Amino acid sequence: MLRVAVVGSGPSGCYTAQSLVQQDAQVRVDVLDRLPCPYGLVRYGVAPDHEKIKSLQNNLRAILEHERVRFLGGVAVGPSGVSVARLRELYHAVVYCVGAATDRRLGIPGEDLPGSWSATEFVSWYSAHPDFPGQGGTPTDDGFLRGVGSAVVIGVGNVAVDVTRMLARGVPELSPTDVPHAALTALGVSRVTDIAMVGRRGPSQARFTTKELRELGILPDTGIAVDRAELAQDPAYADPSGLPAPQRRNVEVLRGWAETPAPSARRRIRLRFFLRPVELLARDGRVGAVRFERTVPDGHGGVTGTGAYEDIEAQLVLRSVGYRGVALEGLPFDASGGTVPHLAGRVLREGAVAPGEYVAGWIKRGPTGVIGTNRPCAKETVASLLADTAALVRRDVPGDPLVALRTEGIEPVEWAGWRAIERAEAELGASLGRNVVKLPDWASLLDAARRTGA
Ligand code: NAP
């Protein structure tokens, strides 16, 4: 029997587990996660108002409930938990599906001023990620939004669209979702009326997808504003027919908005282009504006600076310029791409295949693509792993790795513990007159996980 550990229970980890049990009737898979909760970015990254995408959790649940798959939550892999070397001893093979855990930096002055946050911090807050320091605060905790009238979102990817949309959402739309109660309350009393989402290149290079872009145009009590002259600097604006379909559709939506000015509304989202951030400016000890340099297309899809500048006022800045993989002690790491070097999913150590070690998902290919992109990615890795089976099973491993982990003082949150967390979240929601509401901090998650007999 082949024993495999999958590290990470997000989409790439779950799809890896699924692919393994579907293709090999003998394999047993433990899916380890640092958190006591499964599903990775589906639980802690997909915006709460994207309920259809969130419902993918049901598909991932079925995978983790497979009879030969076991969820082991609350197990950190690395120096603070089970080392990479120890994991390798406990299993015939280990597949790292640890994603891209941090955000890219802008590297400009003022980036760390109070009021300037990475989009991942804002996402963690409204997703109730237990590592976000504000979690468990008072229900009126509004550290992001207090005193904020204008916000700037830097970047024009789907995360930028998510955080822009969430800034414009009110209680009626968010209350039915699982957004934590503190974030719901803070967003409910938010006075943000002006949100600028800013790209350094043109509309035909924007990274958001059209479905997500369109949603910005149908938010209640929110108008959308674009500047036709600014958009028209993009050579493809006048005639987008030569663009690949995803970019063409984006440009068409933006053209539509330019032609039909939005009726006046309480909030306004401005989509700006050809502005690259150069500095965050302070006012009264916190961010007050973002200075951008105007850019022009360079004819090769990039831009060049013009030496002209524009300041956009903002008491809140969300830097949404992409995720970045983090090195895991004991695993090789390519710092330039934030990924683990690999050959079709087989980890490479100094250029040579490391037997029994594999990667899938963002730590393998970088932080791009939608959730479904992880399926073929996982399949490729699993094909490599299963092709190696004969060599892998030659090595003896302990009968049940869970027994060894427990002997070493590690007490994972198993599936029953996770189900207990789900029950506690349903109870919390009921007590607040809402549906399921997420528990926002480690203490309440672990406390709920212990109530497995309930
Ligand atoms: P992304 O798609 O890579 O977008 C990053 C944005 O930041 C780009 O507009 C990029 O501009 C900009 N940027 C990078 N460095 C910059 C700098 N120094 N100054 C100014 N702008 C800079 O990343 P993401 O939005 O974090 O999304 C990550 C992945 O998750 C994507 O594949 C996305 O589609 C996916 N996702 C999907 C959904 C959904 O399906 N609903 C939701 C969220 C995330 P350049 O292009 O000029 O570099």
pLDDT tens digits, residue range 47-85?
Answer: 999 999 999 999 999 999 999 999 999 999 999 999 999
267-272, strands of its sheet edge to edge: 116-118, 316-319, 150-154, 194-198, 267-272, 222-226
Please indicate if the annotation marks 369 as binding a ligand.
yes
What atom in ligand 1 is closest to the CA of residue 119?
26
Q: How many whole angstroms separate alpha carbon 216 and alpha carbon 126?
A: 18
Please indicate if the annotation marks 12 as binding a ligand.
yes
Under 8 Å between Cβ of 97 and 13 = yes
What atom in ligand 1 is closest to the CA of residue 368?
32
Residues 6+ apart with CB under 8 A from 400: none
Q: What angle do CA 80, 321, 79 make, to 5 degrees?
A: 10
Its CATH class, for the domain covering 3-101+325-412, is alpha beta
Give the tens place of pLDDT for each residue, 191-238: 999 999 999 999 999 999 999 999 999 999 999 999 999 999 999 999
Tell the residue number behind the tokens 């030659």, with chain if given. 394
Please indicate if the annotation marks 402 as binding a ligand.
no
Residue closest via CA to ligand 1's atom 1 equals: 157
How far does residue 122's CA lie from ligand 1's centre (Å)?
15
Q: How many whole angstroms separate alpha carbon 419 and alpha carbon 38?
A: 11
Q: Which of 43, 53, 200 to mutate to test the pocket of ligand 1 (most atoms within 8 A of CB)?
A: 200
Could you tell me the CA-to-CA distances from 86 to 347, 398, 440 in Å, in that order? 17, 12, 31
What atom in ligand 1 is closest to the CA of residue 201?
47
Q: How many whole angstroms separate alpha carbon 391 and alpha carbon 356?
A: 9
Q: Which of 44, 163, 321 to mutate to test the pocket of ligand 1 (most atoms within 8 A of CB)?
A: 321
Under 8 Å between Cβ of 186 and 141 = yes
At residue 452, the pLDDT reads 85
Q: How many whole angstroms separate alpha carbon 276 and alpha carbon 293?
A: 5
At residue 405, the pLDDT reads 95
At residue 69, the pLDDT reads 98
DSSP string over 80-116: TSB-HHHHHHHSSEEEE-----EE-----TTTTSTTE
At residue 134, the pLDDT reads 60
pTM of the model: 0.95
Instruction: Give the three-class secondary structure for 13.
Output: helix
What atom in ligand 1 is closest to the CA of residue 209?
34
Please indicate if the annotation marks 212 as binding a ligand.
yes
Query: What count of Cα atoms within 13 Å lies in the side-chain half-sphere of residue 128?
Result: 24
Residue closest via CA to ligand 1's atom 16 equals: 321
Under 8 Å between Cβ of 201 and 237 = no
With 0-12 CB in 10 A as exposed, 13-18 as middle and 19+ as buried, what is 394? exposed
Q: Please report, as a single letter, which amino acid is at residue 124.
A: S
Residue closest via CA to ligand 1's atom 26 equals: 322
pLDDT along the chain (454 residues), means of 10: 97 98 94 98 96 94 98 96 96 98 96 96 95 56 85 98 97 94 93 98 98 97 96 96 97 96 91 98 96 96 97 98 96 96 98 98 96 97 98 94 95 97 97 94 96 73
What atom in ligand 1 is closest to the CA of residue 53?
41
The neighbour count for residue 45, using CB atoms within 10 Å, is 21
Residue closest via CA to ligand 1's atom 22 equals: 321
What atom in ligand 1 is closest to the CA of residue 303?
47
The CATH code of the domain at 104-319 is: 3.50.50.60
How far does residue 190's CA lie from ligand 1's centre (Å)?
25
Q: Which of 118, 122, 207 to mutate to test the pocket of ligand 1 (most atoms within 8 A of CB)?
A: 207
How far does residue 172's CA lie from ligand 1's centre (Å)?
28
- The region that residue 42 occupies, defined by phi over 0 for left and psi between -120 and 50 for alpha, beta otherwise, is alpha
Ligand 1 neighbours, Cβ below 6 Å, are: 106, 154-160, 162, 199-201, 205, 207, 212, 276-277, 320-323, 367-370
